[in-house]
Amino acid sequence: MTKSTIHAPAQPDEAAAGAILTIDLSAIRENYRRLKARLDGVACAGVVKADGYGLGAVEVAKALRKEDCDTFFVAHLWEGIVLRAGLGSEPTIFVLHGLLPGSEEEALDAALIPVINSSGQLAAWRKLAQRKGLTLLAAVQVDSGMSRLGMAPVEVEALAADPSRFDGIDVRLVMSHLACADEPERDANEAERLEFERLRKMLPPAPVSFANSSGIFLGKPYHHDLARPGAALYGINPTPGHKNPMLPVVTLEAKVIQTRQIDAGTGVGYGHTFHATGPLAMATIALGYADGWHRRTSAAAFFDGVELPFIGRVSMDSIILDISALPDGRLKEGDLVELIGPSHPLDTVADVAGTIGYEVLTSLGHRFHRRYIGG
Ligand SMILES: *Cc1c(COP(=O)(O)O)cnc(C)c1O
């Protein structure tokens, strides 16, 4: 045997991969343009937290840069550091989770703008500003009714009474987040909007941001100065119950690793939860719950538009399909079946799994060959 060093690539190549995730960057750009058109002149950021909803934050952000998007939101400080390294110094990057105690210097070093969610965070940022002799940029988030993150109304009122607490801080954005934006008929939306208007006026004057993807579709009063869509960019329907106004972005295909015939009465998969009622043609594909396809979710794959139902349980690395709807021999080892795509849209996949497109995308695993197209 010759000595050799094997270099493991960052991801499997197409031939070695069990599944292929295709991400259409031109569709992301078109979705951004569609949102911009609705916003009618209002600025639009890109939310790329959770690694760009599982699709690659740096790749997505670079595509959006080509549409002149210059503002991005991440959740974690570390996501901001990765994004800064990928994008360079120019774009504005806000960190939604704000400042964890002790992380202030790191945020400053990567030129990230923390979304200040409490008066404690404000004090820590101000202390750093004083120590460095600098004016530090910040966004301030108020809680206008979601009760998740942001300064409570009493905190905002206390700050308003003592403006010196903003000394050394340049407030670049005042923001809040809607709890029910995807349900336009809910009274909570208008109540939150009015509460946000009341609270933001107590804070230093700055551009204002309220709407996520669905918020954009609530209309002009929700647009303010900067919209913050994530989901809609990635093709998730921001108007549930109505036709999806966005283009699909993601296709997920898995490879057939074996096909065979089984006899009537044969048990299939862990626990034999399925038994063939007659002779059955089946295929096993190289994708399972370790790839983000939840075990509790029975569903189907598609080949040439033909539905191939899952049979038995979803395994860690594989799923078994009933392929009897296809002609004998039509599906072969190495063929790709569609899990998410034109025959099986993301929002349908999510519905069947009892969840939302957001969770399907952010659950996608790391063993796929990721193919970016339209870059
Ligand atoms: C995730 C998030 C967004 C983006 O929401 P989408 O529904 O994905 O458009 C905007 N703002 C905040 C504060 C968020 O947490």
Please state the domain extents for the chain.
25-234, 250-344
Give the pLDDT confidence of 273-289 residue by residue, as tens digits. 999 999 999 999 999 99
Per-residue pLDDT for 4 more than 80? no
Position 2 scores a pLDDT of 60
In this structure, which topology does domain 25-234 adopt according to CATH? TIM Barrel (3.20.20)
Compute, in angstroms, the gap from residue 195 CA to the centroid of ligand 1: 19
Per-residue pLDDT for 91 more than 90? yes
The atom number, within ligand 1, closest to the CA of 234 reads: 8
**Pocket lining for ligand 1, CB < 6 angstroms:** 47, 49, 96, 177, 212-214, 228-232
Tokens for 52? 């760009």
Domain 25-234 matches domain 250-344 at the CATH topology level? no
Distance separating alpha carbons of residues 274 and 253, to the nearest angstrom:
24
Mean pLDDT of 40-46: 98
Position 241 scores a pLDDT of 94
Closest to 348 measured CA to CA, from 304, 300, 305, 292: 300
Per-residue pLDDT for 23 more than 60? yes
In this structure, which topology does domain 250-344 adopt according to CATH? Lyase, Ornithine Decarboxylase; Chain A, domain 1 (2.40.37)
Distance separating alpha carbons of residues 360 and 291, to the nearest angstrom:
11
- Binding residues, as ranges, are 148, 316
Which residues lie closer than 8 Å to 292 by C-beta, 6 or more apart?
54, 360, 363, 364, 365
Active-site residue flag, 358: no
Considering only residues 49 and 297, tell me which one the structure prediction assigns the higher pLDDT.
49
Say which of 36, 49, 234, 255 is annotated catalytic.
49
To test ligand 1's pocket by mutation, which of 31, 47, 173, 189 has the most ligand atoms within 8 angstroms of CB? 47
Q: How far is CA 125 from CA 157, 162, 336, in A?
A: 19, 16, 52
Q: At how many degrees (to 10) do helices 187-200 and 153-160 cross?
A: 20
Please give the angle made by the CA atoms of 286, 291 and 296, to the nearest 5 degrees. Answer: 95
Mean pLDDT of 337-354: 95
Active-site residue flag, 270: yes
Closest to 343 measured CA to CA, from 299, 375, 279: 299
Compute, in angstroms, the gap from residue 227 CA to the centroid of ligand 1: 10
> What pLDDT band is residue 5 in, cutting at 50, 70 and 90?
confident
Give the pLDDT confidence of 183-227 residue by residue, as tens digits. 999 999 999 999 999 999 999 999 999 999 999 999 999 999 999
- DSSP letters of 192-258? HHHHHHHHHTTSPP--EE---HHHHTT-GGGT-SEE---GGGGT--SSTTS---SPP-EEEEEEEEE
Per-residue pLDDT for 1 more than 60? no
Give the pLDDT confidence of 232-250 residue by residue, as tens digits. 999 999 999 999 999 999 9
Per-residue pLDDT for 156 more than 90? yes
Instruction: Answer for the pair 287, 320: CB distance below 8 angstroms, yes or no.
Output: no
- Binding residues for substrate, as ranges, are 148, 316
pTM of the model: 0.96
% of the chain beyond a pLDDT of 90: 95
% of the chain beyond a pLDDT of 70: 99
Per-residue pLDDT for 375 more than 90? no
Mean pLDDT of 95-106: 97
